[in-house]
Structure formats: C-alpha cells, structure tokens
Amino acid sequence: MDKSEAILKINQLRELLKENSYRYYVLNAPTMSDYDFDQAMKALEALEAQFPELITPDSPTQKVGSDLERGFAQYPHRYPMLSLGNTYSIQEVEAFAQRADKALGKGFTYCCELKFDGTAICLNYVDGKLFRALTRGDGVVGDDVTANVRMISNIPHTLKGKGWPRDFEIRGEILMPFAAFERLNAEREEIGEAPFANPRNAASGSLKLLNPQEVAHRGLWCTLYHIPSQSVAFRTHDEALAAAADWGLPVSDLRRLCNGISEIEDYIEYWDTERKKLPYATDGIVIKINEMEYQTALGFTAKSPRWAVAYKFQAERALTRVLSIDYQVGRTGAVTPVANLEPVPLSGTVVKRATLNNKDWMEQLDVRVGDSVWVEKGGEIIPKITAVELSKRPSDSVKAAFPEVCPDCGTALVSREEEAKWFCPNQDGCPTQIKGRLEHFLSRKAMNVIAGEATVNQMYNLGLVSTPADFYDLDERSLLMLESWKEKSVKRFLDSLEASKQTPFEKVLYALGIRFVGESTAKELAAHFGDVDSLAGASLEELRAVGDVGDVIAASVYEYFRDPRHMAMIERLRAHGLRFSAAAPQAKASDALAGQTIVISGNFSISRDAMKALIEANGGKNSSSVSGKTSFLLAGEKAGPEKLRKCEELGVKVVSEKEFMDMIPSAAAPAVPAIEKEPTLFDL
C-alpha cells in the first residue's frame, strides 16, 4: 500500500471508529460489535505504525472514547482514566507475559480479574465520605454523577474500619444485573418504550438519568477494581483491593494471583465457562502486573497502561439448523423475514427464532431452509444469524425466495426508494395491518382505551370490529361473546370507551393512524386547521405550508382524506361524540420561548405531553423533527440517537431539562419531586 492509499484508508477507519465510539459511549446504542470495533482499531494501529508521519493527536488510537454529555457538571480526573488494550488471542496474552518477563525479570506476579461489562466510574472519598463520582468522560474530564451514584445501594456513603487515606480515588464499573435488566425491559415494553439491547447500555443510560429517584429504581450495582498507585501506599494491587474491601467498598472476590502464563490460561479457561452462572454480564479477563512499583516502571501509552491487558471472550454462538422461514407483516405493512430454528441453548436461553431483518440482508447472507447457521447473542437480547456454515449445506438446498405478494392478504408488495423493507400497500384490506391500526387507535398515547392485542384479535376474528368506529357500536351483549369476559370486564371496557370521547382533537387525529403522522405532526395539523373538515379539504400546497410538514407527510395526509372509506369512518366517529375540532387555545404563561421551534426527545421528570404543553404555554412551538429551523433540541434521558446526530450535523443546540427550566419563569416550571430517602437494600 502506498502513502496515498494509506491516507484514504486511515481516514475511513478514523471516521468509522469515531462514529461508533460516539454511539457506544454517548448514545448507548452501538451499531458495531465489540469485536468488529476492536479489529478496526487494530487495522488503524497497524497502518499508523507503517506510516507514523500520519498519526494525529485526535486519532482514535491516541485518545479514549468519550461519554461526556451536556446536562452534567464536568470535572477533571486527578489521574487520567485510560482504557485497556484488548485482545481476543491467547497468543497475544502470551506475548504480553513475555514482554513483562523480559522487562521485569523475576520476582513479580499477575493479578487476574473478571472484565465486567458495564460503564466505568471513578469514586473520590475524602475523610471517609463519598465526595464525588465521575464517569470516564474523555479520560481527562468526566461527568459528575454523584447524586445518581448515591442511589446505588452497594456503594457506601461513609467508609468503615480504619486505615483509609484521607483523600483517595477508586475506580470500577457500574453494572445492571440480569434480573434488574429483565425487569426494566418488561416495564419499558409495557408502556410502549423500546427495550435496551443489553445490560451495558441499560447501565450506562441509567447512570445518566437526570432524576436520581429513577436511578434508585433501576437496580444498578457496582464493583470496584483499581486504586491508582498515586492514591495509596500499598506494595501490590491485590493488597490495595483487600484493604478497600475492609473499608466496606464493593470489591470483587473472584480475582486470582497467578505466577505465570499457564496459571493465567487456567483462569481464563475456567471463567470462559463459569461466567455464564454469574448474575451479571462479563466479557473477558483483565491481566495486571500485581506489584505497584512495576506498574509505575512500565508506565502508559497515550491511551492504555503497559502493565495490563484485557483478554475478551468471543461472543457466545451456537450452530443450529433453519427449519423454515416466515414472512411477518407489521402494522405499517412492512414484511420482515424470520428464521425458525432448531431449538438451541445460547446465553442462558433456548433460541428458536432469529430475525433476518429485510430482503437485502437475507439475500446477502444467503440463508436457506435446511442450512446450518451460526447464531449469536453476544450480550444482545435478540438473537441474530451471523453466518451460514456452507460445509454443512444440503446438496439439494434451494435459495430462499422473498415473497412478491403479501403473505397475509396476497397483495403485490412494493418497495420505497428510501427504505430497505418491502411493504404491503393494502392498508385497509390486510388483516394484520387492520388489527395493528385498531391497537394503535386504542393505545395509551392515542385514545387511551383499556384493551390490548389479545382483545383486538378476538374482536376482529369474531367480526365485531374492522374499523375504529366499530368499537363505539359495541354493546354488552356482543362483548360477552369474548372469551373469559364477564360483566365486570365489559363494564370496564365500555367505561373506558366512553371516557375516550373527551380525548382532544389532536390525539384523535393521531389515533387515526395516518401514515407518517406522529403526535407532534397531529398537534401541528390540528392547531393549524382547527377542525377535521378544514384539514380534509386542504390542498397539497396548504398542507406543505404547515410547520415541518414536507412532501411525504403532505401527500400521505392528502391521500388519506381523499379515500371515501376514511371519510365515512370519521363521520361515524363524529356521530358517536368524538372531538374533531380543536379546543380554544389556553392563556400563555409567558413569552419566554416566543419565536423558538423546539424538538423534544427522551424521557423527563414530567410526561412528554406535559413538557410539550409547557413549551406552548411559554410561547414556543413544538416540532417533531430536527431541521435548520430548529432553535434547540430539548434532550431528556435516552434522547433519540438520530436526532442527536442531526443536531451535530446542523449545529443545533442541545439543551438539558434543567437548562430548559431555567429559561422559563419559575411559576411556569413544575417542581421536581424531592428524594425522600435513599435505598439501602438491593435484591439481585
């Protein structure tokens, strides 16, 4: 490779690594596996070693990934908080041990520990009390998350025993045990929020919540594994950790002192199996020189200590057979291929199905019925097929054919230029889409009627409902036809249905399920046109004149109201008493946000609806998408990664909830509930 080719490749690798580092540390939504990230980093290191004149200070090889976020005070680390060099090869661990032998001679030991899969933390104790907790940040500066760390039940606020230094730091990992992770995801799915992909993402996101009370609810756990040698006067790393345990700090007791490479390899081999029995995620083994004086002598590279290395376990995977491939139709008509697998145990569960994402991805893998395939979890909840074992492919295998028609209703599928998925366009005749829209109509953010998927399925299959208007024709007699429904269930549903008639126009409009019309767009359309008749009669030009409504949304709304079936349904809903005109605007609290267009994303100390109302009450305008016209993004916990990336691209300011509340009069801002007490127990 000549220098010009190297420059091109180096720039490509740097961009790839920077983007995925941002997604990993800040958004907690990585799109690249740890293994692929590490391999890309090694490729960049190799090129920079070959062309050292191309190394720059901002190269990912020269700095630690950053998790710094707006909304938190930031403080410098007393000592740089570096990352570890990673390897997936026992041979590289052996090479590390050989370098140590050559540099140090005899008389030293190794301390081997589990590599916990969480988010890094640095705790500072002063006079025996927790003074400050910082995230890794960029290795030099970290976010102050002290208030949140105080909510983690196994982190002591006051040390016990004696002998602790007056002022010292100790570092470790904030984890989310599997039990807490499963509980949290069940809660998120129940309220319609996307589940976290893995415990590491959940732990990192939870640590950056703006409400410490919510942190207490998340069930985080801490394990500590390193005291910087400058902070304490111990002969060995192991002695320092033993002392920390005596002071009441949560130090893992699963470490082992090793005298050479054979003992290190025994430890790695043991935990490669036994880690599956632990109540939290681990992804490798950390091998450290135990003696503090030798750690000091070996020193550091720009981003890693020379006296330690991390051996990472390969992602868990299993080989199984594809029994069949289903093609599922979603609520929007998108068709997704799903492989049905011969049941296989993987990461503590039995895997029977794995998504194939879309037609292009399925064809790229060339997955066929009868194939033996490698399935991985690698910390992820959703199993994925990563490769076909071609050596085991049956000689009579046939290439899988993605359907040309909808597997539910038989309508010819279509693809949209901007999307990878194929869709069934038969919105009003495809059973799966019909039931999906019925569920959407009743959902909490729409009409908020007490009913779920099972209820809608029963009603549809019995021929009781096929459009939202049909719900309001139901009576006690027809509802008693439903399996397990008694008088109490019927009354509860009918009361909920009656209460839904007070739902404001913008929510009714959202409940109709018009494609591309989300909550914010529905609210904009309702406010702009005032009633459904004006909206239904609007031209494409008039629709495009509304706020952030562009060509795609305008066309979708226009076409929806040109369909006689939709208009007939709306007339039926109106006859039942649903609201199809906007209420009179409420008096403003202030003009503090006058002329500002604001996009909100994430979760806040108050509901999102309340936050949007607060914006409007203070003269601001809500928008659903980030554009050049956006004044700022109001970002709560777990703000959308695409919105954050768009803000970065366009230079749009990102504002935290606290910063936002400071913008408006205190009388208009709701009080954030005080923390009544701190939890003291945590049940794994």
Claim to verify: residue 210 and residue 259 sit in the same structural domain: yes
Report if residue 675 sits inside a domain: yes
Model pLDDT, residue 586: 60
User: Which H or E element spans position 371?
Assistant: none
Claim to verify: residue 456 and residue 344 sit in the same structural domain: no
Q: With 80 as the cut, is the pLDDT of residue 165 above it?
A: yes
Measured over the CA atoms of residue 577, residue 579, residue 585 and residue 587, the dihedral's sign is: positive
Claim to verify: residue 291 and residue 385 sit in the same structural domain: no
Model pLDDT, residue 213: 76
Distance, CA of 243 to chain centre:
37
Range scoring the smallest mean pLDDT among 179-193, 268-282, 382-396, 514-528: 179-193
Q: Confidence band (pLDDT; 50, 70, 90) for 111?
A: very high
Q: How far is CA 356 from CA 34, 381, 384, 392, 609, in A?
A: 21, 15, 8, 20, 36
Range scoring the smallest mean pLDDT among 31-45, 108-122, 473-487, 504-518: 31-45
Q: With 80 as the cut, is the pLDDT of residue 70 above it?
A: no
DSSP string across 391-416 = GG--TT-------SB-TTT-PBPEE-
Residue with tokens 């050292």: 52
Report if residue 481 sits inside a domain: yes
Claim to verify: residue 228 and residue 212 sit in the same structural domain: yes
Among residues 508, 541, 575, the one where a domain terminates is: 575
Claim to verify: residue 368 and residue 454 sit in the same structural domain: no
Residue with tokens 């990563």: 386
Report if residue 437 sits inside a domain: yes
Sequence-distant (≥ 6) Cβ neighbours of residue 508 within 8 angstroms: 447, 573, 578, 579, 580
Q: With 70 as the cut, is the pLDDT of residue 351 above it?
A: yes
Residue with tokens 């902070």: 231
Give catalytic residue positions.
Answer: 115
Model pLDDT, residue 680: 29
Range scoring the smallest mean pLDDT among 219-228, 371-380, 657-666: 371-380
Q: With 70 as the cut, is the pLDDT of residue 608 above it?
A: yes
Closest CA relative to residue 622, chosen from 526, 503, 541: 526
Claim to verify: residue 140 and residue 254 sit in the same structural domain: yes
Tokens, residue 600: 């909100």
Range scoring the smallest mean pLDDT among 6-10, 245-249, 423-427: 6-10
Q: What mean pLDDT comes out for the span 271-286?
A: 87
Claim to verify: residue 366 and residue 283 sit in the same structural domain: no
Model pLDDT, residue 677: 33
Q: Which comes out higher in pLDDT, residue 518 or 167?
A: 167
Model pLDDT, residue 668: 58
Range scoring the smallest mean pLDDT among 199-203, 244-248, 383-387, 665-669: 665-669
Report if residue 644 sits inside a domain: yes
Q: With 80 as the cut, is the pLDDT of residue 419 above it?
A: no
Residue with tokens 């009579």: 396
Claim to verify: residue 386 and residue 463 sit in the same structural domain: no
Model pLDDT, residue 679: 32
Sequence-distant (≥ 6) Cβ neighbours of residue 71 within 8 angstroms: 210, 635, 656, 657, 658, 659
Which amino acid is present at 511? A
* CA angle centred on 510, ends 505 and 516, rounded to 5°: 140
Report if residue 411 sits inside a domain: no
Q: With 80 as the cut, is the pLDDT of residue 333 above it?
A: yes
pTM above 0.95, yes or no: no
Q: Confidence band (pLDDT; 50, 70, 90) for 563?
A: very high
Instruction: Find residue 414's DSSP bridge partners.
Output: 423
Claim to verify: residue 83 and residue 171 sit in the same structural domain: yes
Q: With 70 as the cut, is the pLDDT of residue 44 above it?
A: yes
Q: What share of the chain is helix, strand, coil (3-state, %, to 5)?
A: 40, 20, 45
Report if residue 122 sits inside a domain: yes
Residue 368, φ and ψ in degrees, nearest 5: -130, 155
Model pLDDT, residue 7: 83
Model pLDDT, residue 669: 59
Q: Which comes out higher in pLDDT, residue 20 or 158?
A: 158
CATH number, domain with residue 187:
3.30.470.30
Model pLDDT, residue 35: 67
Closest CA relative to residue 85, chosen from 239, 325, 309: 309
> Over the chain, what is the mean pLDDT?
84
Among residues 312, 328, 346, the one where a domain terminates is: 312
Q: Which comes out higher in pLDDT, residue 63 or 227?
A: 227
Claim to verify: residue 287 and residue 140 sit in the same structural domain: yes
Report if residue 397 sits inside a domain: no
Q: How far is CA 662 from CA 50, 617, 623, in A?
A: 52, 15, 21
Report if residue 297 sits inside a domain: yes
Range scoring the smallest mean pLDDT among 127-136, 200-209, 361-370: 200-209
Q: With 90 as the cut, is the pLDDT of residue 178 above it?
A: no
Q: What mean pLDDT comes out for the span 483-490?
A: 90
Model pLDDT, residue 421: 78
Q: With 70 as the cut, is the pLDDT of residue 112 above it?
A: yes
Claim to verify: residue 368 and residue 445 sit in the same structural domain: no
Range scoring the smallest mean pLDDT among 244-258, 409-423, 646-660: 409-423
Give percent of the chain with pLDDT exceeding 90.
43
Range scoring the smallest mean pLDDT among 27-41, 130-144, 235-249, 417-431: 27-41
Measured over the CA atoms of residue 578, residue 582, residue 588 and residue 594, the dihedral's sign is: positive
Q: With 90 as the cut, is the pLDDT of residue 495 above it?
A: yes
Q: Confidence band (pLDDT; 50, 70, 90) for 232?
A: confident
Give percent of the chain with pLDDT exceeding 70.
89
Claim to verify: residue 462 and residue 496 sit in the same structural domain: yes
CA distance 494 to 596: 42
Domain that holds residue 44: 3-23+33-54
- Structural domains in the chain (count): 5
